[in-house]
Chain A
Amino acid sequence: AQTVTQSQPEMSVQEAETVTLSCTYDTSESDYYLFWYKQPPSRQMILVIRQEAYKQQNATENRFSVNFQKAAKSFSLKISDSQLGDAAMYFCAYMGTLTGGGNKLTFGTGTQLKVEL
């Protein structure tokens, strides 16, 4: 079974600074997708960024980028120029592509990000 581990329960960053959230995963599949979701107090899970395992290039979305290390099974999220609106719980998630195990997201335990003035 696939597992996703987020070892940082809480992180803090100063406004305008850069922060990196860590995520590791375990899988025997060679093709899969990884995601970072943000959950603010409104409770809605918002997709931040997505990475396809067969693509070596790291995904970027504006101030958000990932460092995907397939061999190490590591998938960290870097937030640049942090803003107050970035404060939220961040979840790393995995989805396989095999018919039997696909179509479900496996989530990590989350990292609570605080942004300070």
Chain B
Amino acid sequence: KAGVTQTPRYLIKTRGQQVTLSCSPISGHRSVSWYQQTPGQGLQFLFEYFSETQRNKGNFPGRFSGRQFSNSRSEMNVSTLELGDSALYLCASSPNGGPAYGYTFGSGTRLTVV
């Protein structure tokens, strides 16, 4: 059974640009969540999607957005990149998003903003 796949693995962008990250969940999983991991702030929740609807959102500016497609694949977009957006972005999938099932994480996308 394939795991959670995140692409690309590494990304270098220039300040002011925008970026789109992709996440393919485990087959049959309908919930996808995104987290940002930085040395200073640790792991922080960005948002969660379930059946193409955003169910929960963390405390991030509007430059961070996401969407989920009918096949449960999800993308997150960051516009007008800032140096502080450099981080590891992790995606996690779950059958229905409930805590009883836990979450399976991907290996992340390492974004560097220069």
Contact = CB atoms under 8 A, between A and B. Distances in A.
Q: Is the interface of A mostly helix, strand, loop or mixed?
A: strand
A44 B106 contact: yes
Interface string B31-43: 1010100000011
Interface residues of A, number: 25
B33 A104 contact: yes
A32 B99 contact: yes
A103 B43 contact: no
Interface of A: 32-33, 35, 37, 42-47, 50, 52, 91, 95-97, 102-110
Contact of A95 (B88, B99, B105, B110): B99
B103 A105 contact: yes
Given A103-B33, A109-B42, A44 B48 contact: no
A105 B107 contact: no
20 contacts: A33-B99, A33-B100, A43-B88, A43-B90, A43-B108, A44-B105, A44-B106, A44-B107, A45-B90, A50-B102, A103-B31, A103-B33, A103-B50, A103-B56, A103-B97, A103-B99, A104-B48, A104-B56, A107-B43, A108-B42
B102 A104 contact: no
